[in-house]
Amino acid sequence: EYIRLLKEGESFDTIRVKESRGQEIVAMVSSDTDVVIKKNRPDDLEKIVEINRDLTAPVYKGQRVGRITILAGGKAIGTVDLISDRDVEAVHPLNKLWELFTSRFNNCPGLSDAVKNRA
């Protein structure tokens, strides 16, 4: 029997991207994944998901961020990449420095307002 196990563009997981402005990407299936199995035996299938949770900006749309391996009866019968659904730009080093500087004054009454108003 021929079945579609995963569909191209299917959302799989959300991953936070380091050195961005708190942005996340969605790991999505890169292509349709069809398998042939013995009739009425879909329970023999297993998916092993590997996702890179240590992503650092920049990340590009279509960049590989993981993969899914499909097993049947314990043997690998296919692999499909998980890819990023969008671009995520890196925070400019001067912006990182400014954010670090302003975060130091968030708990100082009066001074924190002056720094926030200047930003």
> Any idea which residue has 């009425």 for tokens?
40
**Sign (positive/negative) of CA torsion 16, 20, 23, 29?**
negative
**Domains of the chain and any CATH numbers:** 2-88 (2.60.410.10), 92-119 (no CATH)
The model's pTM: 0.74
What pLDDT does residue 27 have? Answer: 98
pLDDT in tens, 15-31: 999 999 889 999 999 99
What pLDDT does residue 35 have? Answer: 84
What pLDDT does residue 93 have? Answer: 66
d(CA 44, CA 37): 8
The low-confidence residues of the chain, meaning pLDDT below 70, are 40-43, 92-119
Instruction: Quote the mean pLDDT of the chain.
Output: 84
